[in-house]
Amino acid sequence: MALSHRIRIIGGVWRSRQIQVLDQQDLRPSSDRVRETLFNWLGPDLSGLKAIDVFAGSGALGFETASRSVDEVVMIEKDKRIHNQLLMQHQLLNSYPIHGEVKIIHGDGISYLQRADDRSVQLIFLDPPFNQPNLLLSAAQEAGRVCDDQGRGGIYIECPNDFDLRELSTLLPNWTLIKSMETAQVKAVLFRRSSS
């Protein structure tokens, strides 16, 4: 069995509950500080929103979102072992009922976005492995088509702090960078659709 560690959910119904995360290369959970900042940006009311965590990984973003009353969170993970871990963690969390639905899918996140209808979700998380910047660029382009933030959600991106955001702005021409923060290793940004 792979070694693991725990992270905690910081808000909502599952606040203070812990999830177990596999210790695996390229699996980098969003820190408490980054998640707290993100959900301060999004505000307290996520009801009525549908979210997609395109590169679910540890599950930190998806489970945190589910804990905060969204209608639906779809978490997509390509690695079978990590996917199975997410299913197991969801089963443990499920003993504390939440408002919405959590779907955990084994598959490719970009392919999922390519099949999704235009403007069918309100919140998309893009946090791919940092050593694969092309995944972020491909996913961002699809996310711009699929997301309709309704002024409450958006496209949230975590990337290495040396990543050039101008590349994203080119791929998201109808989107505006509204929030950003940097830590020693991570740049976190939130885009919202530009007013027409």
Q: Which one-letter DSSP state was computed for residue 15?
A: T
Task: Please tell me the pTM assigned to this model.
Answer: 0.95
Q: Which is it for the CA torsion 94, 31, 153, 116, positive or negative?
A: negative
Domain count, the chain: 1
Q: pLDDT value at position 44?
A: 85
Mean residue pLDDT of the chain comes to: 94
Domain extent for 19:
4-193
Dist. CA 83–CA 8, nearest whole Å: 18
**pLDDT, tens digit (0-9, with 9 covering 90-100), for 152-187:** 999 999 999 999 999 998 999 999 999 999 999 999
Q: Are 22 and 176 in contact (CB under 8 A)?
A: no
Work out the average pLDDT over 123-131: 96
Q: Count the alpha carbons within 13 Å of 115 in the hemisphere toward its beta carbon.
A: 8
At residue 27, does pLDDT exceed 90?
Answer: no
pLDDT category at 1 given cuts 50, 70, 90 is very low
Q: What is the CATH number of the domain that holds 163?
A: 3.40.50.150
- Is beta strand 101-106 parallel, antiparallel or unpaired with respect to 4-8? unpaired
